[in-house]
Amino acid sequence: MLKQHEKHEYNRYIKKKWITLLILLVVLFAAVITAVSVGSSGLSLSEIFKVFLGGGESTSRTIVWNVRMPRIFTGIGVGIALAVAGCVMQNVLRNPLASASTLGVSQGASFGAAFAIMYLQAGVQVSNAATNAITFTNPYTIVICAFLGGISTTVLILFLSRVSGTTPSSMILAGVAISTMFMGATTLMQYFSDDNKVAAVVYWTFGNLGRAGWKEISLIYVLSAAAFVYFMLNRWNYNAMESGSNTAKSLGVNVDLLILVSMSIATLISAVAVAFVGTITFIGLIAPHIVRKFVGNDYRFLIPGSALMGAVVMIGADIVSRTIKTPAILPIGAITSFLGAPLFLYTIVKKGNVK
């Protein structure tokens, strides 16, 4: 009788988690529809569904498929990448404050982009003298350098942890120190550069979901999907890690390899996402903590839940950025910072001295 009761409780536990994921999926669908409809050229829901079904006016089809859907797909892909990466980083580093932004990946990417713009002939031109809209003449050079800058921070942190055996809290402090170093280097480069290049660097760091094309979006999705599969295959290992490294080792988990590969993959998808859209902060911190309130630390559900929540937060931030001051689009990096900073402080206050 006891076993039957335990089985019933377990089934209830699993059902609640699946319901949470289903609700997140519905919320994401609603956010996408809202994001398609808002903007300077307002579209009704009926017109949007006509476009999705292959009909509608030509102007509506152009707005939906050429302007808004690429933005939305970029937001979903970037949100998934950053949120899943943050979820895994928090697990393997045993630190609730770990994410791409707190470990310096975003700041390293900004340094790489600034270096490309100023010294590697990435180039910048003003495409419209009336609006001062900036376009980059060699964007892939910027992307490559931003990626290298982003991934170098994690290489440095992992090297320091190997050499000195740093604690999880020390690794976060190392990330803060490296972030500050990259920010200082970027500031110095701007100081010695001309006004056009400084403006281009500032424009890049704002964050812009409209910057990526379909090829870039495809790359983000392919890498994020591969990373998601790897993380889900190791979901039980991450659950074991929740009880501590020693317990995980006693259960047969190769902890050192898991940390190295997980951090490398998480940094890879974070760096690629940031490289294509600019600096996006705190998504990897916000999403896992929100989902953890509903599904706990079971990584069978926390990983997909974080992915969905990351996409929801990014689309929500994009909606805010496009509606506060229409037709202007506010920097989405600033919006996510306003969302993430209070949660960051709340986590510090609640956790106290993170060990």
CATH number (domain holding residue 113): 1.10.3470.10
DSSP state of 40: S
- Span 138-160, mean pLDDT? 82
Q: Does position 131 have pLDDT exceeding 80, yes or no?
A: no
Tokens of 209: 């979901």
Q: Looking at the 3D structure of the chain, how many domains does it have?
A: 1
pLDDT digits (tens, 9 = 90+) for 60-115: 888 888 889 999 999 999 999 999 999 999 999 888 888 888 888 888 988 998 89
pLDDT band at 119; cut points 50, 70, 90: confident
How much is the pLDDT for 74? 95
Nearest to 142 by CA among 266, 279, 283: 279
Q: Does position 28 have pLDDT exceeding 90, yes or no?
A: yes
- Span 296-304, mean pLDDT? 94
How much is the pLDDT for 230? 97
> What range does the domain containing 154 cover?
2-351
- Span 42-66, mean pLDDT? 82
For 167, residues 6+ apart whose C-beta sits below 8 A from its C-beta are 355
Tokens of 292: 């953890």
Whether the CB-CB separation of 337 and 282 falls below 8 Å is answered with: yes
How much is the pLDDT for 216? 86
How much is the pLDDT for 218? 92
Segments of the chain assigned E as strands:
125-128, 133-135
Other C-beta atoms lying within 10 Å of the C-beta of residue 180: 12
How much is the pLDDT for 135? 63
How much is the pLDDT for 129? 45
For 352, residues 6+ apart whose C-beta sits below 8 A from its C-beta are none
pLDDT digits (tens, 9 = 90+) for 169-223: 677 778 888 888 998 999 999 888 888 888 888 888 888 888 888 888 999 999 9
Whether the bond between 327 and the residue before it is cis, its omega within 30 degrees of 0, is yes
Q: Does position 353 have pLDDT exceeding 50, yes or no?
A: no
Q: What is the spatial distance between Cα 332 and Cα 327, in angstroms, rounded to a whole number?
A: 15
Lowest mean pLDDT among 15-19, 50-54, 219-223, 248-252: 50-54
pLDDT band at 27; cut points 50, 70, 90: very high
Amino acid sitting at position 320 = V
Q: What is the spatial distance between Cα 4 and Cα 8, in angstroms, rounded to a whole number?
A: 6
| Mean per-residue pLDDT of the chain | 84
Long-range CB contact pairs, 18-27, < 8 A, 24+: 18/301, 20/291, 20/294, 20/295, 20/301, 20/305, 21/295, 21/301, 21/304, 21/305, 21/308, 24/291, 24/305, 24/308, 24/309, 24/312, 25/308, 27/308, 27/312
How much is the pLDDT for 121? 72
DSSP state of 166: -
Q: Which secondary structure element, helix H or strand E, spans residue 241, and what is its range?
A: helix 235-241
Q: What is the spatial distance between Cα 268 and Cα 89, in angstroms, rounded to a whole number?
A: 12
Lowest mean pLDDT among 12-21, 129-138, 275-284, 323-332: 129-138
Q: What is the spatial distance between Cα 283 and Cα 277, in angstroms, rounded to a whole number?
A: 14
Which of 27 and 215 is assigned the larger pLDDT? 27
Which of 160 and 309 is assigned the larger pLDDT? 309
Whether the CB-CB separation of 314 and 29 falls below 8 Å is answered with: no
How much is the pLDDT for 137? 67
How much is the pLDDT for 355? 44
